[in-house]
Amino acid sequence: MAAPTSIEMITKLVGFDTTSRDSNLALIDWVEGYLADLGIKSDRSWDADRRKANLFATIGPEDKPGIVLSGHTDVVPVDGQDWTSDPFELVQKDGKLYGRGASDMKGFLGVVLAKTPEFVRRQPKTPLHLAFTYDEEVGCLGVRTLLADLARRPVRPRACVVGEPTLMKPVIGHKGKQSVRCHVHGLECHSALAHQGVNAVEAAAELVAYLKGMARRFRDQGPFDPDYSPPYTTVHTGKIQGGTALNIVPKDCSFDFEFRYLPSEDPAMLFGEVQRFAAEKLLPEMRAISAAAGFDFQELSGMAGLDMSSEDEVTRLVMQLSGANGTGKVSFGTEGGLYQEFGIPTIVCGPGSIEQAHKPDEWIEIEQLVAAERFMDRLLDHAAQG
């Protein structure tokens, strides 16, 4: 097996600490300079505080719809993880590369950038667009500003490949995600006079129990899609906090919950069911004691599901480029659903495995990078033909 040419580039990218809570501008500045040295102009789109930016660049004619190679630059934290090496210094050992983001997803970005000089040399007739985003790990925030920028351009890309780790297998579907915070407002009083108060913790508990009932219903009754694991929509409460002391009826309680739903499901209907239960079954009893009691719901993040057909043109193209004889679906979310929602047919396909992502000693097999580089070579041959 020939050594991949992208290791040096991946080493450089892993060396930038782009944990989502921090700025990614050092990496973006470096990539912009690297592309400029190759004669490629880049455009930025920013977050509200201008601490983070997306980068978008085009190789080839700008008046034709091209193929986007998209990846996020941010990584998850290493806090509390037991690493055996510096997470932000790439280590090569036993056919693997270790480092934060090696799999998710600086391996893909490194392959794209390492191949970019060849992209420029061949000047493809079908343009190749490079899209590097911020804050995917905290709700696909950056890609939304990038898409808003693309909406103002005269020519929209015709297809997109999101390089999340799929072992280079084309993924045509993933679940959507909606995460919500519920704040329950009660009325505090002495617990000896509990009938005079509105217990926010108990109201929250009843609503959490209803969410658990929804989860059981989906598990037992579906709808089902056997290509997913698990093959149904999941409902999960992950955080709850409320009350001050046992002898005080609690005034406040808040909890966070999420739906990871099949693309065929409507998240607004799922959320609406929860709101109706709160309004119709819980609120009247609470308001009989205090008119100020109630529920406030705040959507924390949302991620559209991806639902492509195995017969779509871009699906067939990515199968051809990857050498795969089939497609798959995954339960984790990506930016792909938002690209598709925007009107750009999108496939998820990239080196590495999600099984290694977000863990201490995150790694990617060098063999996967070789496969990704072959994919890029085939893509360039396709783009050069127009």
Q: What is the DSSP string of 333-369?
A: --THHHHHHHT--EEE--SSBGGGTTSTT-EEEHHHH
Catalytic (active site) residue 74: yes
**Could you tell me the CA-to-CA distances from 380 to 55, 115, 322, 373 in Å, in that order?**
21, 9, 13, 11
Catalytic residue among 32, 135, 136, 188: 136
Catalytic (active site) residue 136: yes
137: nearest Cα among 172, 170, 105: 105
342: nearest Cα among 148, 174, 53: 148
CB 146 within 8 A of CB 54: yes
User: Residue 54: beta bridge partners?
Assistant: 45
User: Residue 252: beta bridge partners?
Assistant: 185
CB 362 within 8 A of CB 104: yes
Cα–Cα distance for residue pair 118/64, rounded to 1 Å: 20
CB 360 within 8 A of CB 79: no
Cα–Cα distance for residue pair 16/199, rounded to 1 Å: 48
Runs of H (alpha helix) within 41-138: 106-122
The residue behind tokens 């046992």 is 246
Cα–Cα distance for residue pair 352/182, rounded to 1 Å: 36
3-state secondary structure of 216: helix
* β-strand pairing of 363-365 with 96-98: antiparallel
Q: Determine phi and psi for 275, rounding to 5 degrees.
A: -65, -40
Helix axes 25-37, 106-122, angle to 10 degrees: 20
Residues carrying an active site annotation: 74, 136
